[in-house]
Structure 1
């Protein structure tokens, strides 16, 4: 779908904002071009206008709130400065007022904390960066925090997890407005995933395993990730690190809060997600490569984790 005039998007900034929360989605929207015509017009706002510095020292020129009129969407960025911004009534009240004038209300990362200070999230599901789940819930007990989501859409309100998740959300919005091909072209141009499903975990079990201090469990996790097609039974892994199967399973589960079998399953599914991007491989070949018995078993696992089959995942998310 194309539009005769670009949709105007207002980015709400403040001192100490996270630069990528702004520039990530902004670049996605800026690259949405059909037949040489920009589909979005991006404008950056702050309460008083003028130069505003991000937490990393990047300074941007902004327009004052008073000139924020006639916009399609409002994007509330996050950052360390959100702690102060969420206490400033001129920011919170202005977001509440403008919410009646825009078609979309979007928060990136800790921007959700500012949004939660309004009544706009009351009774809705919302998400934010994983380190802020509890703060978001305590900021507004009337909302329902969705943990691990990359982004959440509730009516015309969108909330996303941290930093790069804002780009995932922006790509999803571009797809809503302009179609899959435009969104896919933007993702390719930025060298990022075309689409991570909104319910996908914010951080993987693989990343979590790299943060533990138990050498034997680290060794087992490394072996799993490097030998995904091999026999990865508890007995095999325990023997590898010179532990009894019972003790290995107990220690592994204590360290990672997940059983060895479940960890292996998730790593295989994660690897399958990446391999499905290679359209030269059919689902049976992908399943065999990652150590899953058959294409049917692979699809059942995808239904379990993503509520779509492996083929549907490839079609919609790769």
Structure 2
């Protein structure tokens, strides 16, 4: 019988519990689907025993010595709020173990702000990496040699896998299971966990319309919904400015101040989100998808889509079409 693949998850006081439990459950469910211990999941900590999480309950951890760094096949560093992460970075024994495990492991992974722990080993240097949207600026500032991806839900670059945070750790773990044991097992695990659609890593953390809901100016927040409902109309600066009762110049400045984006990019982002939903949900031809989203034609859509998501609409549909078939079969 093959030796179990060791998945080691270093934990520390104040960690975000789902960052650790989510991936662990995916691997545990993979064991059930496979009918054997394909994965041996280990929580480790500087102080073995009960480790308190940010959720108010504790996770049980083995000692660092109980899981030698060289025995680790997949390392997953979970995230937490700023102070718990800072405390973990100051824990010399923990960080020494993470450093050794990251270099020895087949995969070195992080979830959410766990990217700070993984990055501190130097293994992400020169690589693309994802983290929670709220931590992207801090990660880029602390580690300028990392190419921080502020949109993708997870990123793979060589042996390094990094995810955006919380539930995206589940997406990343499902992708790892698929790489190890094939698509059918990953689908079986997704169904067991009631994860109906396995999201590819390039899918974005949030949409432009959702971002707009966070601004203090109600006019801008409402504008996003109006744009979504009127994608086939002319949506130039003058039209949008008139909608919110501003001069074009003032409107452009307000958009940059509140959302750090130009009006044109704001509209394009909402159009792309709409096109992505059309590709997810049906078999419309590309001309129709482009028209419904307000693009001048399929070529315009292809260029914008590839620039934003790093993949063509056809490739995106191929990935998601398979996932939709899986979902339909499950239902």
CA drift of 1:93 comes to: 0.9
Q: TM-score, normalised by structure 2?
A: 0.82
Match of residue 242, structure 1, among 228, 241, 245: 245
* Distance of 1:185 and 1:246 partners within structure 2: 54
Q: Flag the structure with higher helix content.
A: 2
> Which ranges of structure 2 fall in alignment gaps of 5 or more residues?
324-331
- In the other structure, the counterpart of 1:83 is 86
Asked if 1 retains the 8 angstrom alpha-carbon contact of 2:172 and 2:201, the reply is no
Q: Secondary structure at the match of 2:281?
A: coil
CA drift of 1:84 comes to: 0.7
Match of residue 146, structure 2, among 144, 147, 156: 144
Q: Secondary structure at the match of 1:146?
A: strand
- How do 1:138-287 residues align onto structure 2 when only pairs under 5 Å count? 139-140=142-143, 143-148=145-150, 149-187=152-190, 189-191=193-195, 193-198=197-202, 200-287=203-290
Asked if 2 retains the 8 angstrom alpha-carbon contact of 1:136 and 1:145, the reply is no
Q: Secondary structure at the match of 2:14?
A: coil
Q: TM-score, normalised by structure 1?
A: 0.85
* Distance of 1:66 and 1:94 partners within structure 2: 9
The 1:79/1:183 distance shift into structure 2, 3 A limit, reads same
- In the other structure, the counterpart of 1:97 is 100
Runs of 4+ in 1 over 6 A off after TM superposition: none
Of 94-103 and 28-37, more deviation after overlay is shown by 28-37
- In the other structure, the counterpart of 1:61 is 60
* Distance of 2:169 and 2:271 partners within structure 1: 27
* Distance of 1:185 and 1:271 partners within structure 2: 30
* Cα RMSD after superposing both structures: 2.8
- Residues 253-311 of structure 1 show CA distances to partners (whole Å, capped at 9, x for unaligned) of 44322222221111111122122222443333333332334334322322222232211
CA drift of 1:187 comes to: 4.0
The 1:197/1:35 distance shift into structure 2, 3 A limit, reads closer
CA drift of 1:18 comes to: 0.6
- How do 1:103-114 residues align onto structure 2 when only pairs under 5 Å count? 103-114=106-117
Say whether 1:17 aligns with 2:15. yes
